[in-house]
């Protein structure tokens, strides 16, 4: 009897092991979460990557912050991608040509629409959380904002998510110190500074179409797979590979927004990691070509020059001996505001002139420059002798704003460097 029990136990163990090793035809492997950094322009702010605020010498006192930021995490900007994919899936369903994977994606698309209707382009709860946390960090950077009376002057574009970002940021700072005095304004009067990617004629024309389109299309052919679209729509949908690559990018454009909008993180249910990475590479190049100083065009720098000069002017005022103005001057805009600006400023990792487009991601990565909630803080410190120094924080990390120079340097040296970049951009 004991021997029979032992044999039975061994048999059960063997069966369990065999079942664990074999995926039966009706089993569906659990999809893996796709890496967050491949969300690119829709990656939420990574607070874990922030550096501690440096300990300044006792002889230096923070006196002013110039702050420029992108809006926080948002829902999909509009229904265009969802509409296109949903229409095709509806047609395939009606024709009886929908794949099993397409049925799952069709259901997902409907969930995205239900989640987003009434919220297209709006700041999401994740975006609100980001701005609260960013505001909580400001007193650590500039202690005067956490105690006593200080004046704050902030401006944003007319776009609701940028306005909401500014007000959430201000609201949280006031909740920490109700002695703060705020002036906040939004509107099209600030478009030449913050929405210049639309108001600057030469730059807007480049962004709508130019030599970059051919570069981008050829890059898509090399890096973006047609397989995600084929798996959804079937091999008999179309033989046009460019059309299929476009649809693959539309699929990417929808699922990359999951984390930012509050949906579950995107998984390998509809794209493999390598397919998702190919789309990220293409998106990374597209943002670079349209929004940066590049070997093809430099109009982005000229368009961003007024904003950089406004930043410099605000700091210069704060450095005057009898200055008694705002403690923080803030500008709130978009990725398309910050990318040209940071490129013009030659900030580390934000300016690149690649010799080979395929290698762009080795030196320029969108999600490290303008994640959702991206920000630049220029902190001005006054010495006991009255000299002013500048420290630059990009997305919560202290950076050296001039290659080869220290991270803390005389403000005049930095201002002269940036003015020179403006002069070059205007030629």
Which tens digit of pLDDT belongs to each residue from 194-247? Answer: 999 999 999 999 999 989 999 999 999 999 999 999 999 988 899 999 999 999
- Look at residue 6 and tell me whether its pLDDT is greater than 70: no
Please, which residues bridge with residue 376 across strands? 68, 394
- Judged by DSSP in three states, 413 sits in helix
Quote the percentage of the chain above a pLDDT of 90: 85
**pLDDT computed for residue 236 by the predictor:** 86
**pLDDT computed for residue 32 by the predictor:** 94
- Look at residue 10 and tell me whether its pLDDT is greater than 50: no
- Look at residue 103 and tell me whether its pLDDT is greater than 80: yes
**pLDDT computed for residue 84 by the predictor:** 97
**pLDDT computed for residue 63 by the predictor:** 94
- Look at residue 23 and tell me whether its pLDDT is greater than 50: no
Spatial neighbors of 309 by CB under 8 A, at least 6 apart, are: 419, 422
Q: Which residue has the tokens 């639309």?
A: 198
- Look at residue 1 and tell me whether its pLDDT is greater than 50: no
CA 279 to chain centre: 15
Q: Average pLDDT, stretch 362-378?
A: 98
Structural tokens at position 420:
């020179």
Distance CA 193, CA 209 (A): 22
Question: Which phi and psi (to 5°) does residue 152 adopt?
Answer: -120, 130
Lowest mean pLDDT among 17-31, 194-208, 271-285: 17-31
Please name which of 108, 43, 45 lies closest in space to residue 81, comparing C-alpha atoms: 108
Average pLDDT for the chain: 92
**pLDDT computed for residue 95 by the predictor:** 87
Instruction: Band the pLDDT of 3: cuts 50, 70, 90.
Output: very low
Spatial neighbors of 36 by CB under 8 A, at least 6 apart, are: 43, 44, 46, 259, 265
Write down the H helix ranges in 142-293.
160-176, 191-194, 196-199, 201-208, 211-223, 227-233, 241-255, 258-261, 273-291
CA 419 to chain centre: 27
Q: pLDDT tens, 288-327?
A: 999 999 999 999 999 999 999 999 999 999 999 888 889 9
Domains for the chain: give ranges and CATH numbers: 36-76+124-204+299-426 (3.40.50.1240), 80-120+210-289 (no CATH)
> Higher model confidence: residue 275 or residue 7?
275
- Look at residue 11 and tell me whether its pLDDT is greater than 60: no
Instruction: Band the pLDDT of 29: cuts 50, 70, 90.
Output: low
Q: pLDDT tens, 323-361?
A: 888 999 999 999 999 999 999 999 999 999 999 999 999
**pLDDT computed for residue 2 by the predictor:** 42
**pLDDT computed for residue 96 by the predictor:** 87
Contact present, 370 and 42 (Cβ < 8 Å): no
**pLDDT computed for residue 283 by the predictor:** 98
- Judged by DSSP in three states, 261 sits in helix
**pLDDT computed for residue 144 by the predictor:** 87
Instruction: Band the pLDDT of 104: cuts 50, 70, 90.
Output: very high
- Residue 125 vs residues 16, 112, 120, 330: alpha-carbon distances, Å: 44, 16, 13, 22
What H or E segment, with its residue span, contains residue 180?
none
> Higher model confidence: residue 340 or residue 94?
340
Quote the percentage of the chain above a pLDDT of 70: 93
């Amino acid at each position: 009897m004991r021997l029979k029990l032992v044999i039975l136990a061994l048999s059960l163990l063997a069966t369990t092991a065999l079942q664990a090793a074999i995926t039966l035809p009706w089993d569906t492997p659990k999809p893996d979460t796709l890496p967050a950094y491949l969300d690119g322009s829709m990656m939420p702010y990574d607070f874990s990557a922030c550096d501690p605020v440096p300990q300044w010498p006792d002889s230096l006192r923070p006196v002013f912050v110039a702050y420029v930021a992108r809006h926080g995490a948002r829902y999909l900007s509009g229904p265009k991608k969802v509409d296109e994919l949903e229409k095709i899936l509806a047609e395939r369903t009606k024709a009886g040509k929908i794949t099993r994977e397409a049925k799952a994606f069709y259901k997902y698309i409907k969930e995205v629409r239900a989640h987003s209707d009434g919220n297209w382009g709006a700041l999401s709860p994740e975006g609100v959380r980001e701005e609260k946390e960013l505001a909580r960090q400001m007193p650590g950077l500039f202690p005067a904002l956490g105690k006593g009376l200080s004046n704050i002057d902030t401006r944003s574009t007319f776009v609701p998510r940028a306005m909401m970002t500014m007000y959430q940021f201000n609201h949280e700072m006031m909740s920490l110190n109700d002695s703060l005095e705020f002036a906040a304004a939004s509107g099209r009067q600030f478009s030449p500074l913050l929405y210049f990617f639309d108001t600057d004629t030469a730059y807007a024309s480049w962004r709508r179409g130019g030599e970059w389109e051919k570069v981008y299309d050829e890059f898509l052919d090399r890096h973006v797979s047609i397989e995600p679209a084929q798996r959804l729509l079937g091999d008999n949908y179309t033989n046009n590979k460019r059309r299929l690559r476009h649809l693959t990018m539309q699929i990417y454009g929808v699922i990359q927004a999951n984390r930012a909008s509050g949906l579950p993180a995107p998984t390998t249910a509809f794209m493999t990691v390598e397919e998702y990475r190919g789309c990220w590479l293409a998106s990374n190049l597209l943002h670079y070509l349209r929004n940066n100083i590049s070997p093809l065009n430099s109009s982005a720098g000229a368009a961003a020059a007024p904003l950089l000069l406004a930043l410099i002017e605000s700091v210069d005022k704060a450095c005057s001996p009898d200055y008694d103005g705002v403690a923080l001057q803030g500008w709130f805009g978009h990725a398309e505001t910050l990318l040209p600006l940071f490129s013009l400023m030659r900030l580390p990792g934000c300016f690149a002139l690649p010799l080979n487009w395929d290698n762009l991601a080795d030196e320029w990565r969108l999600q490290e420059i303008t994640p959702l909630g991206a920000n630049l803080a220029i902190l001005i410190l006054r010495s006991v002798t009255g000299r002013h120094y500048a420290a630059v924080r990009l997305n919560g990390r202290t950076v050296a704003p001039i290659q080869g120079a220290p991270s803390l340097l005389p403000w005049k040296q930095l201002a002269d460097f940036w003015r020179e970049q403006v002069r070059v951009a205007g030629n």
